[in-house]
């Protein structure tokens, strides 16, 4: 199965992050709040959305920061993805 986003939608794969506390304890992604850094897996074509012309500015492979509660979670082949609208992406990480 394959996910293909429509209009201004973007498919993201959330990145698990580890963080070490000052005391040396490693916190995995599941021990913290929902991570907000994700990798762009697929990008919709853009076009006219809600009467406005939308040009897609993200591309496959970009690392992005999203709004913490944005999007719809989808599980496909035991992999978790999030489908968001492009305007829910806050920044591209270089």
Specify if 36 maps to a domain.
yes
Q: What is the DSSP string of 2-22?
A: -----TTEEEEEEPP--EE-T
Quote the domain boundaries for residue 87.
Answer: 9-93
Query: Residue 9: which residues within 8 A CB-CB, separation 6 or more?
Result: 44, 83, 84, 85, 86
Query: Which pTM was predicted?
Result: 0.79
Residue 3 lies in a domain: no
pLDDT in tens, 1-11: 789 999 999 99
CATH of the domain at 61: 2.30.33.40
Total number of domains in the chain: 1
> What pLDDT score does 68 carry?
82
pLDDT in tens, 66-88: 988 899 999 999 999 999 999 99
Q: Is residue 4 part of a domain?
A: no
User: Would you say residue 1 lies in a domain?
Assistant: no
């Amino acid at each position: 199965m394959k996910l293909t986003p429509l209009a201004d939608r973007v498919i993201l794969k959330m990145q698990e992050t580890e963080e070490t506390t000052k005391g040396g304890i490693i916190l995995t992604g599941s021990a913290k709040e929902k991570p907000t850094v994700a990798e762009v897996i697929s990008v919709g074509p853009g076009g006219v959305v809600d009467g406005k012309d939308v040009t897609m500015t993200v591309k496959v492979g970009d690392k992005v920061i999203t709004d913490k509660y944005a999007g719809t979670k989808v599980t496909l082949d035991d992999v978790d993805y999030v489908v968001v609208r492009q305007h829910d992406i806050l920044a591209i990480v270089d």
